[in-house]
């Protein structure tokens, strides 16, 4: 008796799906072990009052979360992180998009410029922070030396709260500029040239082409860069730890951010339950912003937006 071909095809597809799931099983198990379980433990720990050097973990419910908004340092860290993330995302995306559009034109030096802008991305954050801390140094820093050539007195860039936050924003924008630029270049390369030719024939100028063709077709890349930049902005830690601690740092913890505050509460003051509640709040903030960004960008198809 000959089996129906549909059943044979179904068996082959079932074997393929089974093979794929078995191949993904180790990766999925590793992801659960390294991501899901620690996340669940952190959420559970946020409802307990646990000192790192004590074995007891009494359950206190939402008390840690209620104490957050009465904590001056947490509110300060939340404000600084929001300012830092907003500034780095807006300014960084604008500069990287402008650079990508400029380098998208054919040129012999395009590859060299791309390499130079991408070098800071592959450099680890710790040495970058150390170098920029030296650049900002009021006594022998390169920036103050250049300013002294114009008769400007030395400035303590990392000693004053407002200047310190602005200095870290400038450094992080410079650090991530090349990565965002490369992402935008990938999107620009995928835009068909026929759209630009048709717009030029219709008499559109450069700004109209950019607004009605380039930006709509870059919507997926814009969304990706926006989400990743926002997540990176809210997870800022290394520059704060390296550049603003010690004698050159800003006084009174005025430049602390959320992750730095979590680190201090957990590993300096041993308040692991309280630090976990701050980590959960950071997760909820980033998750809410990601959902909002997805809803704002999700809408009409990019191709249908071209006028």
Please list, residue by residue across 175-213, b when 16 or more beta carbons sit within 10 angstroms of its beta carbon and e when fewer do: bbbbbbbbbbbebbeebeeebeeebeeeebeeeebeebb
End-to-end Cα distance, the chain: 61
Q: What is the dihedral of CA 18, 24, 29, 33, to 10 degrees?
A: -160
Q: What is the pLDDT of residues 249-304, one digit of tens each?
A: 555 567 889 999 999 898 888 899 999 999 999 999 999 999 998 888 775 444 44
Contacts of 81 (CB under 8 A, 6+ apart): 233, 234, 236, 257, 258, 259
Q: What is the pLDDT of residues 54-98, one digit of tens each?
A: 788 888 888 999 999 888 889 999 999 999 999 999 999 999 999
Q: Which pTM was predicted?
A: 0.84
| 3-class state of residue 69 by DSSP | coil
Q: What is the pLDDT of residues 102-161, one digit of tens each?
A: 888 777 777 788 888 888 889 899 999 989 988 988 888 888 888 888 888 888 888 887
| 3-class state of residue 129 by DSSP | helix
Q: What is the dihedral of CA 197, 201, 207, 209, to 10 degrees?
A: -40
Confidence at residue 82, expressed as pLDDT on a 0 to 100 scale: 94
The answer to whether the CB of 157 falls within 8 A of the CB of 164 is yes
Contacts of 15 (CB under 8 A, 6+ apart): none
């Amino acid at each position: 008796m000959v089996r129906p071909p549909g059943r044979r095809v179904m068996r082959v597809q079932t074997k393929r799906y089974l093979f794929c799931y078995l191949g993904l099983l180790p990766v999925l198990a590793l992801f659960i072990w390294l991501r899901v379980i620690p996340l669940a433990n952190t959420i559970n720990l946020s409802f307990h009052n646990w000192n790192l050097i004590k074995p007891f973990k009494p359950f206190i419910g939402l008390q840690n979360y209620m104490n957050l908004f009465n904590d001056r340092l947490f509110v300060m860290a939340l404000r600084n992180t929001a300012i830092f993330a907003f500034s780095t995302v807006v300014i960084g995306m604008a500069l990287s998009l402008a650079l990508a559009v400029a380098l998208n034109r054919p040129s012999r030096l395009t590859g060299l410029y791309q390499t130079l802008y991408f070098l800071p991305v592959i450099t680890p954050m710790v040495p970058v922070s150390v170098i920029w801390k030296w650049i900002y140094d009021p006594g022998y820093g390169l920036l103050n030396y250049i300013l002294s050539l114009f008769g400007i007195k030395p400035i303590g860039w990392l000693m004053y709260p407002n200047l310190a936050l602005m200095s870290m924003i400038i450094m992080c924008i410079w650090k991530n500029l090349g990565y965002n630029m490369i992402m935008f270049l990938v999107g620009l390369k995928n835009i068909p040239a026929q759209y630009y030719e048709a717009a030029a024939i219709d008499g559109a100028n450069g700004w109209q082409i950019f607004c009605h063709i380039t930006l709509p077709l870059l919507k997926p890349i814009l969304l990706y860069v926006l989400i990743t930049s926002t997540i990176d902005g809210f997870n800022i830690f290394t520059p704060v730890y390296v550049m603003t601690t010690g004698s050159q740092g800003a006084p009174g913890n005025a430049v602390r951010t959320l992750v730095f505050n979590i680190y201090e509460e957990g590993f300096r003051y041993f308040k692991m339950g309280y630090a976990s509640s701050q980590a959960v709040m950071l997760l909820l903030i980033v998750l809410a912003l990601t959902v909002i960004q997805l809803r704002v960008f999700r809408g009409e198809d990019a191709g249908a937006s071209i006028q």
